[in-house]
Amino acid sequence: MHSFAQHNGLIGESRAFRDMLMRLTKIAAYDTAVLITGETGSGKELAAHAIHYQSRRRGKPFIPVNCGALPDHLVENELFGHARGAYTDACDSQTGLVTQAEGGTLFLDEVDTLSHRAQVCLLRFLQDGQYRALGGARAASADVRVLAASNTLLAERIQQGAFRADLHYRLNVMDLEVPALRARGEDILLLAQHFIAEAAQRYGVPEKPIHPDTRQWLMSQPWPGNVRELRHLIQREFLLSDQAQVSIATPPPTVERRFQPDRRMHTMTLNFNEAKRLMLQAFERDHLIRLMHVSEGNVSHAARLAGKERRSLGKLLKKYAIEPTQFRVG
């Protein structure tokens, strides 16, 4: 039996985790919009689930929407549906996600990715709970609680002119920040062991402990991909390991390797410019692979993490023949 607090799928014992959990429980009791913030992979959707299942709406649907995956011209159709004949291919009417969430919760993940047009549509709905299906003759109303999540600071997006301030006010009635994994101390080890148990049960293999050196290494990492990155890493190493303990081959400390030539240098020319070009290519490829692992093959998400335009990142992936679909889970 593992000794940790598990709360609607959220796991941890650290002070940062328990403070977040206490605030979440209070927020769940009040039927208002909530803006959930936190780094990528930190558990924002799990937090949204927990809010829903502790609220009075727990018996009704929880409908998650990945805003980053909604094409601009389909946002209204996806959210509000359409009437028969609304456009050329609309042979039948279709209900939208808002209707599907009736009485329950609509969770808008990556809300910062919505276009200006989509933001206007959402704002109009949040103002009075009314909407009109595309091609519909009359307005309808919905009893839906809206939870939104963002891994960027919306205040900065507002200053850049990329996000509407009035929509931010509507979404940010209450706020919840999910702490980064690196701020959660030994929760890293609790989660790692939990993920091993999870994989062991799923694939019918015995659990293994984590090697002491690996435990220390796990605690020292910055985890830019947070809980998602840890889960993928530890389960992969557990399932592929032939040892009695899960042991991750760690690189030498940065201080020790700072002045060591790269081990790949023996394959390179000693011409400075040529060596520099090859090393840059190696760095780009390694970094792109890590971005794909952390973002689970979501190119838009990876581009935001890298601070690059999606098209530019896509060209780099093509250059190194890296296929995003290979990194997708499920």
Q: What are phi and psi of 7, to 5 degrees?
A: -135, 100
The single residue listed with the structure tokens 């601009």 is: 72
Give DSSP secondary structure letters for 209-262: PBPHHHHHHHHH---TTHHHHHHHHHHHHHHH--SSSB---PPPPHHHHTTSPP
* Start and end residues for every CATH 1.10.8.60 domain found in the chain: 182-250
d(CA 20, CA 39): 14
Please give the single-letter amino acid code of residue 2.
H
Sign of the CA dihedral running 27, 126, 114, 87: positive
d(CA 173, CA 168): 9
Distance from chain centroid for Cα 34:
17
Identify the pLDDT of residue 43.
Answer: 94
Q: Which burial class, exposed, middle or buried, applies to 62 when counting CB atoms under 10 A from its CB (0-12, 13-18, 19+)?
A: buried
* Start and end residues for every CATH 3.40.50.300 domain found in the chain: 5-179
What b/e sequence results for 170-208 when a residue is b if at least 16 CB atoms lie within 10 Å of its CB, and e otherwise? bbbebebbbbbbeebbebbbbbbbbbbeebbeeeeeeeb
CA neighbor of 45 nearest in space, from 29, 67, 30, 19: 67
Domain spanning 5-179: CATH superfamily:
P-loop containing nucleotide triphosphate hydrolases (3.40.50.300)
In the predicted model, residues of the chain with pLDDT beneath 50 are 1-4, 85-86, 88, 90, 251-268
pLDDT tens-digit map of 239-250 = 998 899 999 876
Single pTM value for the model: 0.73
Identify the pLDDT of residue 322.
Answer: 86
DSSP state of 178: P
CA neighbor of 314 nearest in space, from 280, 286, 282, 291: 291
Q: What are phi and psi of 248, to 5 degrees?
A: -100, 125
For domain 182-250, give the fold.
Answer: Helicase, Ruva Protein; domain 3 (1.10.8)
Report the C-alpha dihedral over residues 111, 113, 114, 119, rounded to 10 degrees: 60
Q: What are the tokens at 102?
A: 């009736």
Count the neighbouring beta carbons within 10 Å of the beta carbon of residue 94.
Answer: 17
Identify the pLDDT of residue 264.
Answer: 44
Q: Say whether 6 sits in a helix, a strand or coil.
A: strand
